[in-house]
Amino acid sequence: MVSALTLAHVVGHGSGPIPRTYALIAGATALYASFDALRLRWQERRFDQRRVWRPLPGTLSPVVDHPLLRRTLRLLGLASAVLTLTVLTTGYGGAELGLGMVFVLFWVGLVPASLLLGPVWRLMNPLRAVHQAVCALTRVAPGEGLRRLPARVGVWPAVIGLFCFGWLELAAPARDSTATVLLWLWAYGAVQLVAATVFGSRWFARGDAFEVYSSLLAAMSPLGRSADGDRRLVLRNPFNGLAGVRAEPGLSALVSVMLSLTAFDSLANTGAWRTVSEGLPQSPVRTAGLLATALTMLGLLRLSEAAARFLSRGAPWRSGLMAPSLVPVAVGYVMAHYASVLLLEVQRFVDVFFVSGEPAAAHHGGAEATAYAVPAAVFIALFQVVAVVTGHVFGVIAAHDSAVGALPPGRKVLPQIPLFVVMIGLTLGGLSLLLSV
C-alpha cells in the first residue's frame, strides 16, 4: 500500500518504547477487571437508544435538515470524488497522493468523522448524487425501483463490498497501482448505480459498503437523533446509540470483516508472514490469508453464540446481538494502526493543494517522515496500546449490557465467558501483532 503506512507500525519486535510483555499484561488485566466489576455490579440492562443526555437547541435541527445544506453536502461529496478520480488519473502530486486520498483520507478518515458527526457518508455519498441526477433526468422518483429489496438480504451486499475493498487494499495484484484502484472504483460505482436502479435509493443503506460502514460507526457517535417522532438532534451516551443497532442478516459478517482488515494488515507486515509467504505468488497468498482471517473472526463469533446458547440453556443471545459490542474493538484497531498515517496524509494533502503545490517529500529528497510533523515513537506506541485496550474495554461493557438484557435470571454471567475469552484473545493477539511488526 502507500509507503507512508509504515509509520503506523513504528514499534518493532516487542523492543520499542513500550515492552510488549507489559502491554499484554496491562491489556488482559484491564479487560478482566472490567468484566469482574460488571459481573458484580451490573445486573440489569442500562443502555437504551431512547435515553439522551440532553436535546440540542430546537433551532439546530431545521438548519441541519434544510434541503440547501443537504444538497451542499451532497455536492461536496461529489466534488471530493471527482477530485480523487482526477488525482488518480493524472498523477497530480505523485502516485502516493491519490492512493493516500483513497486509503487514508477517505477510508481511515471515515472513522473519526462518523464517530464525531454521525453517518456523514449517507449525506455526502456521491453515488446518491449521481443516482438522483439520473432519476431527475428520467423523471423517476429516487425511491422507486424495479424490484423490492428482500429483507433477508440484510447488509450482505455491504459485507461483500467491504471485503472487496479490503482485498483491493491488501491483496489485489498491483494494488499500489493507481490504474488498479481506478478500475476498482469505477467498477464499484457502476455496480452500485445499477443496483440502485433496480432497487431504488434504499439500496445504498444496505448495499453501499461505505455508507453501511459509516452508519454502523455512527451508532457510537455522541451526536444522534431522538427516538421519538420529531427526530430532534441530541447529545447521547455512545453506548445508548450502540444499543440501538438492530440485529439483521449479515451484521455479524460485517463486523468480522471490519476486524479482519486491520488484523490481516498487521499480520502481513510481520516477519513471520514474510518468511512463510516468501517465494509464493503474493496476491493469491494474501487473498487466502485475508479470507481466512475474516472467516476466523466470524467463526469465533458463531462459536461464542453456540457456547452462550448451550450455557444459558437456549437463551436468545445470538451473534447478531453480540456483534455490535465488537464495533468499539474494530474502532480501537483502526485508530491504533492508522492514526499517525492519517496525520501524515492530512499534512500532505494540505501541502499539495493549499501550500506548495507538491508534496514536501519532493523538497526533502524523499525524507517524508521528517518533512511532516510526526509524533514521537513513544507517543505513537502509547496511543496504540491505549486505543486497543480502550476499544476492548468498551466492547466488554457493551457485550455485558446486551447479555443481561437477553439472558435469563441466574444465568447472566456464565454464557458471557466465551465471548469474553474471545475478546481477551483478540486483545492479546492485536497487541502482539501491533508490537511485533
Point out the least confidently predicted range of 3-12, 304-313, 344-353, 373-382.
Answer: 3-12
* Separation in Å, CA 10 to CA 14, 21, 141, 364: 11, 17, 51, 21
pLDDT score, position 354: 87
pLDDT score, position 214: 97
Q: pLDDT higher for 63 or 27?
A: 63
Number of H helices, E strands in the chain: 20, 3
Q: What are the beta bridge partners of residue 233?
A: 225
Given a cut of 60, whether residue 3 has pLDDT beyond it is: no
- Per-residue pLDDT, averaged over 51-74, amounts to 89
Q: pLDDT higher for 431 or 117?
A: 117
pLDDT score, position 112: 96
pLDDT score, position 287: 97
Q: Model-level pTM greater than 0.85?
A: yes
* DSSP assignment of 301-322: HHHHHHHHHHHTTS----HHHH
Q: pLDDT higher for 240 or 20?
A: 240
Given a cut of 50, whether residue 122 has pLDDT beyond it is: yes
Q: How confident is the model at residue 40 (pLDDT cuts 50, 70, 90)?
A: low
Q: Which of 315, 344, 323 is nearest to 412 (CA)?
A: 315
Q: Which of 436, 63, 109 is nearest to 272 (CA)?
A: 436
pLDDT score, position 314: 82
Residue type at 172?
A
Q: In the chain, what is the straight-line distance between the N-terminal and C-terminal CA atoms, in Å? A: 15
pLDDT score, position 430: 83
- Per-residue pLDDT, averaged over 305-333, amounts to 91
Give the three cell numbers for residue 406: 437477553
**Distance from C-alpha of 287 to C-alpha of 274, rounded to nearest angstrom:** 14
- Per-residue pLDDT, averaged over 266-281, amounts to 89
Provide φ and ψ at 223, rounded to 5°. -100, 120
Residue type at 238?
P
pLDDT score, position 1: 44
Given a cut of 60, whether residue 10 has pLDDT beyond it is: no
pLDDT score, position 49: 86
* Residue 367 DSSP one-character state: -
* Separation in Å, CA 151 to CA 155, 242, 257, 288: 9, 21, 21, 30
pLDDT score, position 436: 67
Q: pLDDT higher for 355 or 8?
A: 355
pLDDT one-digit tens code per residue, 186-234: 999 999 999 999 999 999 999 999 999 999 999 999 999 887 766 789 9
Please state, for a pLDDT cut of 70, what percent of the chain lies above it: 91
pLDDT score, position 18: 64
pLDDT score, position 22: 65
Given a cut of 50, whether residue 14 has pLDDT beyond it is: no
- Per-residue pLDDT, averaged over 363-372, amounts to 49
Given a cut of 60, whether residue 437 has pLDDT beyond it is: no
Q: Which spans in 65-208 are helix H?
A: 67-90, 95-100, 110-117, 120-124, 126-138, 156-170, 178-199, 204-207
| Residue with grid cell 478518515, as numbered in its chain | 109
pLDDT score, position 144: 84
pLDDT score, position 15: 42
Is 305:317 a contact under the CB 8 Å cutoff? yes
Give the three cell numbers for residue 296: 476466523
Q: Which of 26, 211, 186, 226 is nearest to 113 (CA)?
A: 211
Q: Is 186 exposed, middle or buried (0-12, 13-18, 19+ CB in 10 A)?
A: exposed
